[in-house]
Amino acid sequence: MNYDIEWVNDTATTVDYSAEAVREYNEGLGSRIEDYIAKFEQEHSVSDGDDIGGIIVYSDSCVYDYENFVGWVR
């Protein structure tokens, strides 16, 4: 499927879990990638996104970068 998500390259993130994720990793809790994906999905009422390699696209206006723990919601 093709998505029109080029806006993420020029748009500031609207969701940022990175500080919390890094702190937890440094405390020995692991990356918890799946937990943060679930948190994003719950907070933004989305599910069944399309993982296109490093990011999950839920729609043309909702994207989550699970490698950097940030997201864009317009």
Residue 67: per-residue pLDDT:
96
Tell if the pTM clears 0.85, that is, is over it: yes
Find where tokens 């999950």 sit: 56
Tokens of 61: 């206006």
* Domains of the chain, residue spans: 6-73
Stretch 8-23: mean pLDDT: 95
Distance CA 69, CA 37 (A): 8
